[in-house]
């Protein structure tokens, strides 16, 4: 998935994108958000290295608001509404984040948000403290702010207009805020009209002077599938009873004869004081109003659920009752330390530690938790209430994450990865299909390919097997073979008959999709082999190489073919970068896609004319500015030099350079959309010196580690080894690998299998 | 209140109108809808005389749908939407009824409706059966219809487009419908977007293939007080599980950049199949879809509540579970017979029996029931849940009903009248003020004057005393004396200082309002006297005559005065009829108001120059077409001839003529808006030969009875007598009274006190 810099590219967007949203926590649906295995390891104070502002500019679309590990809730400052924020204003352009660092005008704090995605959605359940006269129009009550602090599980600022200090923290399913008001009249607004999503409608009811309940409709992610919209339920509790309360409603502007009769209020805001029944509408809100004789702090706690108001209330109570803001902040911080400590790094620059732990933090946000503390969650599409034993994860931006994020989870958080696979199988049970881009129990069907099976195969082949592999295999075969009404593999008929999609099959990405299906078929083949299904292994192995039909040796690149088998002509391989429409490629061009054959680099080399031709062509991608660090198709390219003996230095040099150029301890310190942690996972792996270069094949390419010592604490439930260390010693500043030793034995290879990695106690790099 | 014939008069409307909506039933909040005292009397089959089509044309604004006595629910055919119904189409003009007899295009059946009111509201929770492809646009799925039958508690028609027979009936809080579908695909739609109200928004959720729940927002009656809107909750149960179900939502039409991205569905209808969570919006609905192999009947039961969905479900269960459609229809019919049998008529024309019982039926619709079977009801304005022991009545269109309807209730249904007064006192407890025009726990503040106290005094002085008279008196004094922020008596300061409102006090009805305050003050005086508050008696008696300041002997009419005490000039007393704006008078002119001094006709006579001048002036009203039978200010005029000895024949002649001219056994058989039964109460009294000519004074004017025998079964809980009979013998066709005898003793008076009436066994009229 990708940076959305310009609003003109959105046609193609309807078939793409990439997220993932915090779901870790209670594998057994209990209140403790920590998986058991995490507690086996010594916890270090490493959360301090996380800088949540990284990715809040340059379309990183992360936000600095507190979130628990894979939390459902994230209390983000919301500063993308209002002309003051132009050009990064949500209604004037495609904008997919509730917060942009360079913006200055804040209109509240949204409680459910996506992190690192490319389509606007969520960004709702927005609270805002104000003082003085009640004002319900966010453009009027919005404020500049200062004194911003963001740490793991904590955000604070001061609203300049009102001199209110805001502090926020979060549990898995609740957001907590304290508003420190000056003396005088104060208001806490809960604005259901404002939001990042373009979906409309909500319901709100003031239950008492200390409680508001309701829901906000969200969905139609990427402005696609408008029937896939759904409510986010909430219960808000206030630590002090309001002196006054009420609701507001912005009336539609009627036309025709009725407008004559209702002119007193046509299109106006109606405030209903002390009203206690439900209000509904597209632009509604509720307020609590106070009269303070002295500076006073009010705490607002908001519980969220995708099942019901009742569950939102239960989530809030189970996770926060009896606890102070400070206790919860510390618990959330502790939880993050427990997770982040699974990888310890020593030596290296302090800045690199910030980059590393912030990246790791970003990989632990999505996929996120969908189920409530009682285990209930909504069924796909129809949203009937179901119950899960483990965590039901959501926000599966799989076109992005199949490439590296799940490989990181399998290595470091295998219990989470197992539950993610189980969640995918729940989705299969509920909808009949594995997920493609699942979001809160809707299948958004954005982006292309059939990525879930790749992840499942990769997970299983890495030894994580505590899920129903027969069902998973059945699901993978279904999407691979079902020609009619197949939501995962449109164009499958042509793919099976011709080996590729044509420019008639789709006007959007015939080559890219062929490649994706090849990779998915390769994954099935690998799994078939493991499961002893020899025939399937052969069938899918063969299918996985059909990309060769699209290799045009005239360009030494892939090239779209027409329905009659002729090449698309004229052909300009550069076209397609930066979202310019390209018949053959999705979010990229021939340069950015041709090497995306991770399972058959050997075959590709042969097609290109051997090692040298391959190297030259690959190097051209970088030399001619065709490489796009901000999108997924080519993100494994830097590691492909390892496939040519003697050229591995190019991988090391390129990766080092990309890390330095695109990953920074600044708001623009991500290459672009984080793509629910995919860009961050790239950095985590790269900085450790290993990269999972071939999905569904348990192998890592090696590159230069950034730290003198990396300790990965492995989960003994899944792996026999306790810890794996990667050490390095630098002799010059070039940071190129001179020698590799595994457990003191020289290792003459720039790839290492997952099995060997796990059997190694220490991998040592001597650098020159 | 009045007929709204033209949409140009609506400025003045914001201060007027008149309803009342079915609330009888369980005085003890039990399921049995019959008050105890009703069961004391022999029940006759008189409901057969009711023709519910009377009032469904000529802006009578009644409807032919079934309703229980003072029911909350009324299942009315809804035929006022769509161009096919022009000119009587709800969005093209001011239209305040869900049904018009001459219209032909039906778009469903609405379950909560007002009867005989002048402002559009309610007309929501609309169901519609269709066949074939699912269509959710009412303009597309609407149908012509035939075979209309309407009886008490029953309505039926055939939808021509679909060949579906529809039958409906109702309990107090539930509507029942059976849809007889032909073989094939069938749909039952529940359209929350369509309605008579101009308020917007609703919520709907499909609970199971046999149940839908939700609410619809209504209110802002008369397009006034937009903060007085509120939800009507419902639960709909279907006798057969749907084969498919779903919800729909008409999306707003977005503009700007977003419209580019969402063009596939911008402004379109979205159907969400098998969706089970809440949807909200201004234009939403739910459907149940069936596949029938043979003609099949489906029953739909809808329970309503103004408190909660839970209560709507409880109402439905308590009132309908275990009963068939036919049983409920018979129970409702029986209940009506029990109520209507309280007055028996014999002799006379069959048509007159139809006119009489239909009129009595119309007086038993509003005020109607607000509380649920468990006694819960919403508090005024804030709508917190309260509980009542007796019935909490609602729809108090008091400017209309204080003149005769409550007098009829006091005489024939004193237990109901007592509970209506208690409901007014509950409203006072909850809001601090007695009602003026209360509708479902909102004070609409339409129309003028301070009518509640008049009704309370009238009720008490008739011997119905089982309510807290001290509280009532306190409430009456409050609205009579509180100068600041008095919602009932705006302009009170001028009224107290000058004796009248001026053209500066209000630009709408300074004379009318002065008269209304005089009448209200007279009522306080009468009650004060009864309670031994001599000082108040004198003070308010004096206040009640201040209209004299506005009597201009130049015209022998009332005339508005300016702030400086001068007459409004130039002055054309005829101006103001038919809603033409008139500074001095509301919904009328000087002719229609001058005689509205029911408590001081003697004084008025004197002002006019004696009996002869009074008679001449009063007769001019009729002779010069200034009399308006369709509005309340002058409806007692015909009885005022009784005040002049020897001229009583004019009353008889005029009343006879008006009954013949304006009351008919045809859809246009009401003079205009029924005004929640006020016009009908006029007919009921007039046809019995008695009319309560002076509110808050227990006296009736006598006129020609329409029947040979009228038997009123009195309530022994309140009155010592069992029955009162009014008999008459006709000798010629003139129908003028020759002689009156009470219990065989000649009675030389054309007025009879309430006390004497109750002490009489028989009043006999000999007619010539």
ipTM: 0.89
**What is the average pLDDT value for chain B, to the nearest integer?**
93
A94 contacts chain B (CB < 8 A)? yes
3-state secondary structure of B210: coil
Q: Kindly tell me if the per-residue pLDDT of A10 is higher than 50.
A: no
- Using a pLDDT cut of 90, give the percent of chain B over it: 88
Identify the pLDDT of residue B34: 43
Residue B35 has pLDDT above 70, yes or no: no
Six-digit token string for A229:
């919209």
Phi first, then psi, for residue B325 (nearest 5°) are -55, -45
Instruction: Give the relative orientation of helices B405-412 and B678-688 as an angle to the nearest 10 degrees.
Output: 60
pLDDT (0 to 100) of residue B125 = 98
Torsion from C-alpha of A545, A550, A554, A556, nearest 10 degrees: -50
Question: How far apart are alpha carbons A206 and A288 in whole angstroms?
Answer: 9
Per-residue pLDDT at A428 exceeds 90: yes
Q: Which tens digit of pLDDT belongs to each residue from B414-428?
A: 999 999 999 999 999
Tokens of A756: 């060997």
pLDDT value at residue A13: 39
Name the class of domain A36-329: mainly beta
Whether B362 contacts B419, CB under 8 Å: no
Query: Which two three-digit tokens encode residue A187?
Result: 């208001």
Torsion of CA A674, A677, A680, A681, to 10 degrees: -140
Q: Which residues of B touch A381 (CB under 8 A)?
A: 274-275
Per-residue pLDDT, A15: 37
Contact A252 B215 (CB under 8 A): no
Cα–Cα distances in angstroms (integers) from residue A681 to residues A691, A724, B25, in the given order = 9, 18, 69
Q: Does B266 touch chain A (CB under 8 A)?
A: no
| Residue from the list B229, B274, B278 with its beta carbon closest to the beta carbon of A215 | B278
- Cβ distance of A230 and B261 shorter than 8 Å: no
Least confident of A564-568, B36-40, B125-129, B287-291: B36-40
Q: Note whether A223 contacts B252, CB cutoff 8 Å.
A: no
* Beta carbons within 8 Å of A709's beta carbon, 6+ residues apart: A344, A345, A346, A347, A725, A726, A727, A728
Q: What is the pLDDT of residue B225?
A: 87
Judged by CB atoms within 8 Å, which residues 384-413 of B form the interface with A?
384
Residue in B254, B280, B382 nearest the CB of A275: B382
Phi–psi pair at B393, nearest 5 degrees: -85, 160
**Cβ-defined contacts of B6-11 (< 8 Å, 24+):** B6/B93, B6/B94, B6/B579, B7/A257, B7/A260, B7/A261, B7/B93, B7/B94, B9/B579, B9/B580, B10/A260, B10/A261, B10/B94, B10/B223, B11/B581
Token digits of residue B579 = 């809603």
Give me the pLDDT at residue B555, please. 96
> For residue A65, is pLDDT > 50?
yes
Q: Which tens digit of pLDDT belongs to each residue from B401-411? A: 999 999 999 99
pLDDT in tens, B539-557: 999 999 999 999 999 999 9
CB contact under 8 A, A254 and B198: yes
Cβ within 8 Å, pair B262-A226: yes
Q: Which of residues 280-299 of B touch A (CB under 8 A)?
A: 280-282
B682-700 mean pLDDT: 98
Q: Is the pLDDT of residue B16 over 60?
A: no
Q: Residue B277: list chain A partners with CB under 8 A.
A: 230-231, 378, 383
Range with the lowest mean pLDDT among A30-39, B510-519, B703-712? A30-39
Under the banding of pLDDT at 50, 70 and 90, the label for residue B262 is confident
Do A226 and B7 make contact, defined as CB atoms within 8 angstroms?
no
Give me the CATH code for the B39-339 domain, please: 2.70.98.10
Residue ranges of domains in chain A: 36-329
Interface test with A, best of B134, B261, B274, B386 (most A CBs within 10 A): B261
Residue in B198, B272, B280 closest to A201 by CB: B280
Nearest CA in chain A to B265: A226
Percent of chain B having pLDDT more than 70? 94
The mean per-residue pLDDT over the stretch A647-663 comes to: 98
Chain A residues whose beta carbon lies within 8 Å of the beta carbon of residue B247: none
| pLDDT for A514 beyond 80 | yes
> In Å, how far from its chain's centre is CA A226?
21
Residue B290 vs residues A497, B182, B248, B293: alpha-carbon distances, Å: 40, 11, 17, 10
User: How many C-beta neighbours within 10 Å does residue A491 have?
Assistant: 21
The reply to whether A226 touches chain B by the CB within 8 Å rule is yes
Give the gap in angstroms from C-alpha A259 to the nearest C-alpha of chain B: 9
User: Any CB–CB contact under 8 A between B257 and chain A?
Assistant: yes
Evaluate if residue B19 carries a pLDDT over 80: no
Contacts of B136 in chain A (CB under 8 A): none
Which residues from B are below 8 Å from A258, CB to CB?
Answer: 91, 198, 223
Beta-carbon contacts of residue B362 (< 8 Å; ≥ 6 apart): B55, B62, B115, B116, B674, B677, B679, B680
Percentage of chain A lying above the pLDDT 70 cut: 94
pLDDT for the residue numbered B2:
45
Q: List pLDDT tens digits, range A199-218.
A: 989 999 999 999 999 999 99
Beta-bridge partners for A762? A725
Measured between beta carbons, the chain A residues lying within 8 angstroms of B282 are 252, 281-282
Report CB contact under 8 Å: B91, A220. no
CA A196: distance to chain centroid? 16
Whether residues A201 and B93 touch (CB distance < 8 A) is answered with no
pLDDT grade for B577, boundaries at 50, 70 and 90: low
pLDDT score recorded for residue B39: 55
pLDDT at B37: 45
The per-residue pLDDT for B533 is: 98
Read off the pLDDT of each residue in A220-241 and give the average, rounded to a whole number. 94
In this structure, what is the dihedral angle of CA atoms B611, B612, B615, B618, given to the nearest 10 degrees?
-100
pLDDT number for residue B579: 64
What is the reported pLDDT for A507?
A: 87
Q: Which of chain B's residues have a Cβ under 8 Å away from the Cβ of A224?
A: 264
pLDDT at residue A502, rounded to an integer: 97
- Residue A541, φ and ψ in degrees, nearest 5: -60, -45
**B9 pLDDT exceeds 80?**
no
* Chain A contact set for B87 (CB, 8 A): none
- Residue B40 has a pLDDT of 66
Does A268 reach chain B within 8 Å, measured CB to CB?
A: yes
**Residue B201 near chain A (CB below 8 Å):** yes
- Report CB contact under 8 Å: A262, B381: no
Tokens linked to A531: 């499961």
Bridge partners (DSSP) of residue B191 are: B126, B285
Q: Are A257 and B92 within 8 A, CB to CB?
A: yes
Cβ atoms of A665 and A658 within 8 Å: the answer is no
Interchain contact, B226 vs A91, CB within 8 Å: no
Q: 3-class secondary structure for B255-318?
A: CCHHHHHCCCCCCCEEEEECCCCCEEECCEEEEEEEEECCCEEEEEEEEEECCCHHHHHHHHHH
Scanning B398-491, the segments in alpha helix (DSSP H) are 398-401, 405-412, 414-431, 451-461, 469-481
């Amino acid at each position: 998935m990708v940076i959305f810099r310009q609003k003109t590219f959105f046609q193609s967007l309807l078939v793409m994108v990439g997220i993932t949203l915090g779901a870790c926590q209670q594998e057994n649906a209990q209140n403790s958000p920590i998986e058991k295995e995490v507690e086996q390891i010594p916890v270090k104070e490493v959360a301090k290295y996380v800088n949540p502002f990284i990715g809040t500019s340059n379309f990183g679309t992360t936000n600095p608001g507190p979130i628990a590990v894979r939390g459902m809730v994230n209390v983000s400052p919301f500063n993308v509404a209002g002309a003051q924020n132009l050009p990064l204003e949500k209604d004037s352009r495609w904008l997919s984040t509730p917060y942009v660092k360079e913006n200055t005008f804040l209109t509240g704090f949204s409680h459910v948000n996506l992190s690192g995605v490319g389509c606007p959605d969520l960004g709702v359940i927005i609270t805002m403290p104000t003082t003085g006269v009640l004002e319900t129009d966010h453009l009027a009550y919005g404020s500049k702010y200062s004194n911003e602090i963001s740490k793991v599980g904590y955000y604070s600022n001061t609203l300049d207009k009102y001199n209110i200090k805001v502090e926020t923290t979060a549990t898995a399913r609740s957001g907590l805020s304290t508003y420190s008001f000056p003396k005088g009249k104060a208001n806490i607004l809960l604005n259901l009209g404002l939001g990042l999503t373009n979906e409309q409608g909500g319901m709100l009811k003031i239950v008492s002077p200390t409680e508001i309940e309701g829901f906000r409709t969200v969905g139609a992610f990427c402005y696609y599938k408008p029937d896939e919209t759904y409510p986010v339920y909430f219960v808000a509790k206030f630590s002090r009873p309001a002196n006054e309360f009420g609701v507001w409603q912005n009336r539609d502007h009627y036309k025709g004869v009725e407008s004559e009769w209702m002119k007193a209020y046509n299109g106006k805001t109606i405030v209903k004081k002390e009203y206690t029944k439900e209000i509904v509408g597209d632009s509604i809100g509720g307020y609590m109003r106070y009269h303070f004789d002295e500076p006073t702090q009010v705490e607002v706690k908001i519980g969220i659920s995708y099942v019901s108001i009742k569950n939102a209330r239960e989530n809030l109570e189970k996770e926060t009752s009896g606890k102070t803001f400070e206790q919860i902040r510390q618990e959330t911080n502790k939880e993050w330390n427990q997770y982040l400590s699974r990888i310890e790094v020593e030596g290296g620059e302090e800045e690199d530690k910030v980059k590393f732990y912030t990246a790791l933090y970003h990989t632990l946000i999505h996929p996120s938790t969908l189920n409530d503390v009682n285990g209930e969650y909504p069924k796909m599409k129809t949203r009937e209430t179901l119950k899960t034993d483990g965590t039901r994860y959501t926000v599966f931006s799989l076109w992005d994450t199949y490439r590296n994020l799940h490989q990181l989870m399998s290595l470091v958080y295998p219990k989470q990865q197992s539950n993610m696979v189980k969640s995918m199988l729940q989705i299969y049970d509920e909808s009949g299909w594995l997920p493609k881009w699942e979001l809160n129990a809707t299948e958004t069907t954005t982006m292309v390919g059939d990525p879930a099976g790749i992840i499942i195969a990769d997970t299983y082949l890495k030894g994580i097997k505590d899920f129903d592999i027969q069902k998973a295999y059945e699901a993978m075969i279904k999407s691979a073979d079902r020609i009619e009404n197949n939501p995962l593999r449109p164009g499958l008929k042509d793919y099976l008959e011709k080996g590729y999609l044509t420019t008639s099959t789709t006007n959007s990405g015939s080559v890219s999709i062929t490649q994706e299906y090849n990779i998915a078929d390769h994954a099935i083949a690998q799994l078939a082999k493991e499961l002893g299904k020899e025939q399937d292994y052969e069938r899918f192995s063969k299918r996985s190489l059909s990309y060769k039909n699209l290799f045009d040796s005239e360009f030494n690149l892939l090239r779209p073919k027409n329905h009659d088998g002729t090449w698309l002509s004229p052909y300009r391989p550069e076209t397609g970068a930066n979202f310019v429409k390209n018949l053959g490629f999705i979010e990229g061009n021939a340069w950015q896609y041709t090497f995306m054959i991770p399972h058959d680099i050997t075959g590709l080399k042969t097609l290109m004319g051997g090692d040298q031709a391959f190297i030259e062509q690959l190097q051209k991608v970088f030399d001619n500015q065709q490489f796009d660090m901000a999108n997924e198709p080519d993100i494994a390219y830097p590691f492909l030099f390892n496939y040519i003996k003697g050229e591995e230095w190019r991988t090391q040099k390129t990766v080092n350079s990309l890390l330095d150029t695109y990953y920074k301890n600044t708001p623009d310190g991500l290459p672009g959309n984080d793509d629910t942690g995919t860009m961050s996972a790239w950095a985590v792996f790269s900085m450790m010196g290993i990269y999972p270069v071939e999905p569904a094949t348990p192998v890592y390419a090696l590159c230069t580690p950034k730290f003198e010592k990396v300790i990965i604490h492995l989960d003994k439930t899944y792996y026999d080894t306790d810890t794996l260390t990667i050490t390095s010693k630098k002799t010059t500043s070039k940071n190129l690998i001179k020698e590799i030793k595994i457990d003191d034995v020289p290792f003459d290879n720039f790839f290492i299998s997952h099995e060997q990695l796990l059997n190694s106690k220490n991998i040592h790099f001597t650098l020159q």
